[in-house]
Structure 1
Amino acid sequence: MAGDPTKANLWTDADVYVSFDLSAPMPADANTPFGPQWDLVGLLDGDEGFPENREEDTDDKFAWGGILVKTSRNHFKLTKSFTALEDNATVRRLVWPGSTETKIKVPVPEKVLVAFETREGDKVRRLVTSLYAECSLDGDHGENETDLESATIVATIYPNAQKELFDRQATPLLESIEVTPATLSVAATEIGAVVATATYSDETTADVTANCSWSSSDPTKATVTAGFITGIAAGSATVTASYLGETDTVAVTVTA
């Protein structure tokens, strides 16, 4: 089966952050922590995950003979849910907006910023509301003897003027590596150097020479350590650099 398993996701951890300050700044990138204006919801039900529901009104237009000509679409609505397992101030404010520690009031959802973060090892993906969301309780919420107390919260996502729902942040994924120069000529006992450059999904690059695994197809002709190639005897060899599943080669010629 063809494909790239590194691009398949199995999220092993997740968090939801909420800000009741609509002017709270978003982190600069996926590796930057959320600032003090953001509150952590706490423990989440991983089996429930982050279900997403899309609603849209469609109206099909037909010509004579029953041929579909156009479909109009409007009233798009997106909701995204999460199930909180903690009874903390942030969860209580989402479940009972407008209430206090001593008084429970009829809930009136307030506008909030919501960020959904999923993680797998060093891989991070975030969806942060571009404008705001309104959160409300979905279904029953109560206490019993056998189950963890939980609250399933539905966030209705409102788009901004550009119809943007979320700002997406993600850890850049490695796309390829390139070793330069692609060919190298060294004399026996001399040392030449090559550089391995990684290219990521966000089009950034990085020197990963020191992080690569290096090998030579014929160590009797040339050896390699951290990008430094030493000529051993006249002949040729192929030097390979490997980094996180990506490889590239350099053709080495050793002269007498």
Structure 2
Amino acid sequence: MAGSPLNANLWTDADVYISTNLAAALPADAETPWGVDWSLVGLLDGDEGFPETRDEDTDDKFAWGGILVRTSRQHFKLTKSFTALEDNEVTYSLLWPGSSPTQIVVPRPAKVKIGFETREGEKVRRLASALYAEVALDGDHGENESDLESMTFAATIFPTANGVLFDRQTTPVLESLSIPATLSVADGAIGSLVATATYSDATTADVTAEASWSSSAPAKATVSAGFVTGVDPGSATVTATYQGQTDTCAVTVT
């Protein structure tokens, strides 16, 4: 099977954040918490997820003979939806923008910043509106005795003058693991190997202590936490494994 299962995503948790401050700062990176300007929407319907709709007017241009030569594109619109399950101050402000706790007025969506975050284990992906969004109820809203009260909102994302819709943040993804290709160690002596992880943002990290280590021939050489002990003259293959990535070292015991 071609490809890497590590690149397949099954998001197990998610949140939506709203800020009425259009100058609200985005967290420094995907591992930094959202700041005080951002308010959590609360519980979301995971089955509904974050559906995304793209609308664009296209016009095909044909030459004689019916040959397609150009397609003009304009009026692009991106809408991203989510279903909230909590009745709180944030969802009330989205459901009834401009209303007070004691009076409901005709809703007119306000300009807000919106952030979408999905998580799977330590993997995080964030999208935050680069300019602003307008959030409005999408469909019906009501209460009954057999279903949770829910509100599906559609956020229309307005781009910057340069066409930027979102600022995107992700945690770096492990791409490879490397250890030295060869190691020579005397009988009864101890040598060491370092396991280096390389991530999608080109950063590296020493993961020697976190990696799992094994030897193909423990009678010749054993390994623990990267330390290789020569047991008897001969050869062995030492393998390091970390988060699905592996590399090997040919060990010679003299």
Query: TM class, shorter-chain normalised?
Result: over 0.9
- Structure 1's unaligned 5+ residue stretches are none
Partner of 2:158: 158
Partner of 2:105: 105
CA distance in 2 between counterparts of 1:145 and 1:189 reads: 74
Cα shift readout 1:231-256 (whole Å, capped 9, x = no counterpart)? 1221111111111111101111111x
CA distance in 1 between counterparts of 2:233 and 2:157 reads: 67
Give the TM-score taking structure 2 as reference length: 0.97
Partner of 1:118: 118
- Letter of the aligned partner of 2:238 in structure 1? V
Listed as ranges, the matches of 1:227-238 within 5 Å are 227-238=226-237
CA distance in 2 between counterparts of 1:114 and 1:100 reads: 22
Deviation at 1:63, TM superposition (A): 0.6
Listed as ranges, the matches of 1:1-256 within 5 Å are 1-180=1-180, 182-255=181-254
CA distance in 1 between counterparts of 2:236 and 2:143 reads: 70
Cα shift readout 1:183-232 (whole Å, capped 9, x = no counterpart)? 11111111111100001112111000001111111112111111111112
Q: CA RMSD in A?
A: 1.1
Name the SS of the counterpart of 1:46 in structure 2.
coil
Identity over aligned pairs, percent: 71
Cα shift readout 1:127-184 (whole Å, capped 9, x = no counterpart)? 111111011111111222222211111100011122111111112111110002x211
CA distance in 2 between counterparts of 1:145 and 1:232 reads: 72
CA distance in 2 between counterparts of 1:202 and 1:238 reads: 30
- Letter of the aligned partner of 1:98 in structure 2? G
CA distance in 1 between counterparts of 2:141 and 2:94 reads: 13
Deviation at 1:2, TM superposition (A): 2.7
CA distance in 1 between counterparts of 2:252 and 2:110 reads: 69
* Aligned length, in residue pairs: 254
Name the SS of the counterpart of 1:101 in structure 2.
coil
CA distance in 1 between counterparts of 2:185 and 2:143 reads: 75
Name the SS of the counterpart of 2:56 in structure 1.
strand
Name the SS of the counterpart of 1:195 in structure 2.
coil
Name the SS of the counterpart of 1:117 in structure 2.
strand
- Letter of the aligned partner of 1:81 in structure 2? S
CA distance in 1 between counterparts of 2:53 and 2:99 reads: 28
CA distance in 1 between counterparts of 2:147 and 2:195 reads: 54
Deviation at 1:103, TM superposition (A): 1.5
Name the SS of the counterpart of 2:209 in structure 1.
helix
CA distance in 1 between counterparts of 2:13 and 2:137 reads: 23
CA distance in 2 between counterparts of 1:95 and 1:44 reads: 15
- Structure 2's unaligned 5+ residue stretches are none
